[in-house]
Amino acid sequence: MEKTLTIGLTLFLTLCVDIPGAGGRSDGAHGDDAQKRPSRSSDTKGGRCSYTFIVPQQKLTGALCLNTQSASANQSEVAALRAELRRQQEQLEKLHGHLEQDGSLVMEVRALRKESNAMNSRIAQLYAQLLHEVIQKKDQALEQRRVESILLNATTQALQVSSNYRELEKKYGALTSMISSQNQFIARLEKRCLCRDSTQASLVGNQLWSASANDVQRDQSALPPQQEQAVVSLPTTTANSTTDHPFISFPVTKTPGPWRDCQHVQESGETTSGIYLLRPQSANRLLQAWCEQSRAQGGWTVIQRRQDGSVNFFRTWEQYKQGFGNLDGEYWLGLEHLYWLTKQAQYKLRVALEDWQGRQVFAEYDSFRLEPESDWYRLRLGQYHGTAGDSLSWHNNKAFTTLDRDKDSYTGNCAHYQKGGWWYHMCAHSNLNGVWYRGGHYRSRYQDGVYWAEFHGGSYSLKRVSMMIKPT
């Protein structure tokens, strides 16, 4: 319970301080009182002085507390306070040091963040550039595929024209052969009949020429029987003379063919390598092939040759079936022709290889034949011997594969990767119909050169290659 009191007080405050050398002198508001009480001097000798203050009257509310005890200075407490102050200053200095270190770390972190941001920006830039390049390469790949498609179509058309030209060449060769035979028949008829009127012989020759021209326009499968008919019918017109010799007594080696194969050519007395007209037994077809008579005792029918890269061997099934190329250069005889040739007898295969340093090796297989087209011209191969190493037995019993007829054991099309047609397996230990690279070792995305794995490996494209067959 508070009560407002108005008190008129005269307060006497006594302040005691420690003043050295005070001598008991007191200064106050009333000097007379000091002189009247000398006993105070004895009290002030101990360092205590009294001062009397007259406080004017004030209105006070509440309690009024006054401590008249004097505080004495304690040196030990001051020393403790100073020690504590020094300790706090040391801690403060340590904190300043830590703060400086933390500040340097913060600066390093900020620098690292800036570098990280710069690296992220650079990575984003590189990613965008890479994405642009990938898109550009995809566009280039699409353009390349389009160009390849156009090139393949143009190549197909060119091969068709070349095939038609070869057909004409075959018919022309057959016509030339028949005309040569008929000219010989006419000469002998003139001698045998002792014709005095040359017009009769000319009439016979003109008739034979007309018949030959009509025969050439027909299918070439009908040419051999007609030729045989002409051979048989002409001599019978003069067989009544007793002094005439049989026509068959004329040497067979001088006839222009056709022959069964190149061994038959050799047995007929022809020892010069060149292009000859062949007609396999049981086959109503004529074909031309190069007969090699100067190597390995002769009599070899060349079925494939690579030597200068002038012919593209990346062909379709139909082209590999019928054959393509130049008979006096690079060519492929044809799977259908090979089937009929190897069907008439047991043949052996000889593969002649030459590298870019002039080294020549060979591989021979004691039997070689093909199955018909209904079995995809499957390869049947015998035992190997030779100096090149065996790189073809791995392909034994395999079907022939081209770009448009995938018959290999690989999940993809080996002809696409090897750039040719072959009896691929998974995919090849030999690829003699691949791309002809100049210089031997080549760089390519795939092993698509003309290689024989046992002779220089798959990354070495050979300089010269030839495949030849001959009856055993």
Q: Which residue has the higher pLDDT, 332 or 251?
A: 332
**In the predicted model, is pLDDT for residue 353 greater than 60?**
yes
Residues 6+ apart with CB under 8 A from 29: 52, 54
Least confident of 219-223, 351-355, 360-364: 219-223
pLDDT digits (tens, 9 = 90+) for 446-461: 899 999 999 999 999 9
H, E, C per residue of the chain:
CCCCECCCCCCCCCCCCCCCCCCCCCCCCCHHHHHHCCCHHHHHCCCCCCCCCCCCCCCECCCCCCCCCCCCCCHHHHHHHHHHHHHHHHHHHHHHHHHHHHHHHHHHHHHHHHHHHHHHHHHHHHHHHHHHHHHHHHHHHHHHHHHHHHHHHHHHHHHHHHHHHHHHHHHHHHHHHHHHHHHHHHHHHHHHHCCCCHHHHHHHHHHHHHHHHHHHHCCHHHHHHHHHHHHHHHHHCCCCCCCCCCHHHCCHHHCCCCECCHHHHHHCCCCCCEEEEECCCCCCCCEEEEEECCCCCCCEEEEEEECCCCCCCCCCHHHHHHCEECCCCCEECCHHHHHHHHHCCCEEEEEEEECCCCCEEEEEEEEEEECCHHHCCCEEECCEEECCCCCCHHHCCCCCEECCECCCCCCCCHHHHHCCCECCCCCCCEECCCECCCCCECCCCCCCECEECCEECCCECCCEEEEEEEEC
- Banded pLDDT at 173 (limits 50, 70, 90): confident
Which has the closest alpha carbon to 351: 259, 254, 201, 462?
A: 462
pLDDT value of residue 105: 86
pLDDT digits (tens, 9 = 90+) for 216-242: 333 333 333 333 333 333 333 333 333
- Cα–Cα distance for residue pair 339/345, rounded to 1 Å: 11
Least confident of 89-98, 115-124, 232-241, 304-313: 232-241
**In the predicted model, is pLDDT for residue 396 greater than 90?**
yes
pTM for this entry: 0.49
Buried b (16+ CB within 10 A) or exposed e, 10-29: eeeeeeeeeeeebeeebeee
* Percent of the chain with pLDDT strictly greater than 90: 42
| Cα separations in angstroms, 124 against 107, 138, 379, 423, 472 | 26, 21, 56, 50, 71
What is the pLDDT averaged over residues 407-427?
94
CA 79 to chain centre: 88
**In the predicted model, is pLDDT for residue 211 greater than 50?**
no
pLDDT value of residue 252: 35
pLDDT digits (tens, 9 = 90+) for 1-49: 444 444 444 444 444 444 444 444 444 444 444 444 444 444 444 455 5
- Cα–Cα distance for residue pair 226/216, rounded to 1 Å: 10
- Cα–Cα distance for residue pair 96/83, rounded to 1 Å: 20
* Percent of the chain with pLDDT strictly greater than 70: 69
What is the pLDDT averaged over residues 430-437?
96
pLDDT value of residue 189: 73
pLDDT digits (tens, 9 = 90+) for 235-292: 333 333 333 333 323 333 345 678 999 999 999 988 899 999 999 988 888 999 999 9
pLDDT value of residue 56: 64
**In the predicted model, is pLDDT for residue 178 greater than 50?**
yes
Task: Give phi and psi for 275, each to the nearest 5.
Answer: -90, 130
pLDDT digits (tens, 9 = 90+) for 370-395: 999 999 999 999 999 999 999 999 99
- Cα–Cα distance for residue pair 332/433, rounded to 1 Å: 9
pLDDT value of residue 313: 96
